[in-house]
Amino acid sequence: MKKSFPVLTWFLPAVSGLIFISLWYGVRVVSGLQSWILPTPVEIVAAAVHEHTRLLAAAGHTALGALGGFLLAAIFGFFTSLMLGLSKSLRASLYPWLLVLQMTPVIVLTPIIMLWAGPGMPGIITITWLISYFPIVANMTQGLLSTDMNHVALFRMCNARRWQEVLLLRVPAALPYYLAGLRIAATLAPIGAIFGEYMVGNASGGTGGLGFLVYSYNTQIKIPALFATALTSCLLGFVFVAAVAWLNWAFLHKWHDSFEQADH
């Protein structure tokens, strides 16, 4: 089957989406619920159009917070993993504490973070960072530890120096794991940012982010606008995931088995 109509990627999701939206309308009509409890998709789109200036500004704000936290997590995650993956004693001393940090719900830490990092963007970025840091570290460390022993023996046979083994063997071998960590982090980063904004409110001034809009629309009982905010957050999440998926493709498609053509 060559380049036929992409039934699986487009047609079936479109059909199931249409069925879902019809059901939504059906429930609304049959139940007689009010618009402010269950708005129809059309009402949501109308709200999104009406609120588009606020939504766009908020999305930009959230994107900035999410990106900042994500980048910090990506950079620090990389170096933390190098430390953990290359030194047994560092791994033994630090990894349990990273787990402890991971096990502590961020919601509990939020007031402390706000107190230390300050409300507004610094706090939001810190929360995002904390939320997306661990999956990167866990994945990349795993990758550094699962280097093929025969490859290591090959490097030893060539009298490779430690830094050569790290740079030419262990890091490239761990790259797919790192990217898998980034993919998880990309889904978490916008959530972290929105959660942070929700907790800080509008302390950073301006429109605030999507999280602040959630808070604001909720108190004003603007339910269709609340749904529109959810839609915007969802789109933002997609952009993040798509960007990392592209990164993943760019680094791996030439050589990694996950991009192997089935009919190769």
Partner 1 sequence: MESVPPIVKFTSLQKRYGVGPVVLDTINLTVAPDDFISFIGPSGCGKSTILKLVSGLSPGSTGELTVMGVKPREARDRQAFIFQDATLLPWLTAQLNVEIPLRLRGRPAVERQTTARKMLELVGLGKVADYYPRQLSGGMKMRVSIARALTLTPQLLLLDEPFGALDEMTRNRLNEELLAVRSLSPFTALFVTHSVTEAVFLSNRIVVMAANPGRFYAEVAIDFPYPRRPELRGQPEFQAKVNEVTRLLHEVEISPSS
Q: Which residues bind partner 1 (CB under 8 A)?
A: 148, 150-151, 153-161, 164, 168-169, 172-173, 175, 254-257, 260, 264
**Which two tokens mark 98?**
């990273």
How near is the Cβ of 159 to partner 1 at its closest, in Å? 6
**Which two tokens mark 36?**
């402010």
CA–CA gap between residue 26 and residue 42 (Å, rounded): 14
Q: End-to-end CA distance of the chain, in Å?
A: 13
CB contact at 8 A, 161 and 139: no
How near is the Cβ of 81 to partner 1 at its closest, in Å? 18
Dihedral (C-alpha) 200, 205, 210, 211: value to the nearest 10 degrees? 10
- Minimum CB distance to partner 1 smaller for 3 or for 264: 264
How near is the Cβ of 146 to partner 1 at its closest, in Å? 13
CA–CA gap between residue 198 and residue 127 (Å, rounded): 12
How near is the Cβ of 46 to partner 1 at its closest, in Å? 50
- Kindly give, in sequence order, each residue whose CB lies less than 8 Å from that of residue 150, ignoring residues fewer than 6 positions away: none
- Minimum CB distance to partner 1 smaller for 171 or for 188: 171
**Look-up of token digits 């993956």:** 85
How near is the Cβ of 150 to partner 1 at its closest, in Å? 5
How near is the Cβ of 170 to partner 1 at its closest, in Å? 11
- Minimum CB distance to partner 1 smaller for 124 or for 140: 140
**Look-up of token digits 């973070």:** 113
- Kindly give, in sequence order, each residue whose CB lies less than 8 Å from that of residue 177, ignoring residues fewer than 6 positions away: 139, 140, 142, 143, 144, 146
- Minimum CB distance to partner 1 smaller for 117 or for 160: 160
- Minimum CB distance to partner 1 smaller for 50 or for 256: 256
- Minimum CB distance to partner 1 smaller for 88 or for 161: 161
